[in-house]
Amino acid sequence: AQSVTQLDSQVPVFEEAPVELRCNYSSSVSVYLFWYVQYPNQGLQLLLKYLSGSTLVKGINGFEAEFNKSQTSFHLRKPSVHISDTAEYFCAVSELNAGNNRKLIWGLGTSLAVNP
Amino acid sequence: EAQVTQNPRYLITVTGKKLTVTCSQNMNHEYMSWYRQDPGLGLRQIYYSMNVEVTDKGDVPEGYKVSRKEKRNFPLILESPSPNQTSLYFCASGIFGGSTEAFFGQGTRLTVV
């Protein structure tokens, strides 16, 4: 069964520094990949997604992610973070299940804390 | 505006008192789902629905019920809430099982005392 591992539960970083949030998944058969962000006291919103095509995906707020099939990874990056990027980030994988339906499998989240 | 609306946002209740959390979406999505979010456990799916009158269990369905009588609504029912159901609940909708994107409500913080 598919599993999603976010390798860091917490990432502290200084403002304007680059950041990488790491995500690995277990199976690359027919997967779609997502990063969601959850700001304090809010629901989740989509940052970016990979369905097919170019392995480098650009999302909102200056974030990007690279799909690496051989390493089954989908790491999220931003070259220069702002205080407002402080949030919880979730990696998710959509895979076909036995009933030929797609199901989202979620990582446990990475808490990004941007300090001044 | 495309959105998923949950009500209430906050709820404190007592053990055993039936409650319903409502969820409504205005995007004509076939797929809807309920999750609970707990510290250290991430998002866990409770129930989902592929279309009207079609519902199925997620990973943690015990103690919950759902119904899908209309496409836009997907209420979550706790017939006899217990303290271990204290959690943050999210409703989500999508075109097809999250294959392109899931849209989330703002969340309902439930406390059962």
Tens of pLDDT, residue by residue over B32-89, are: 999 999 998 999 999 999 899 999 999 999 999 999 999 999 999 999 999 999 999 9
| Residue tagged 């519902």 (tokens) | B55
Would you tell me which residues 70-99 of chain A have a C-beta closer than 8 angstroms to some C-beta of chain B?
90, 92, 94
pLDDT of residue A94: 87
- Mean pLDDT calculated for residue range A7-19: 97
At residue B78, what are phi and psi to the nearest 5 degrees? -110, 105
> Which residues of chain A have a CB within 8 Å of the CB of B99?
32, 94, 102
A49 touches chain B (CB under 8 A): yes
- Mean pLDDT calculated for residue range B85-107: 88
At residue B10, what are phi and psi to the nearest 5 degrees? -135, 140
Q: How many beta-carbon pairs below 8 A join chains A and B? A: 53
- Mean pLDDT calculated for residue range A46-68: 94
pLDDT digits (tens, 9 = 90+) for A62-105: 999 999 999 999 999 999 999 999 999 999 998 877 766 777 88
pLDDT of residue B73: 98
Distance between B28 CA and the closest CA of chain A, angstroms: 18
Strands A10-14 and A110-115: parallel
pLDDT of residue A14: 97
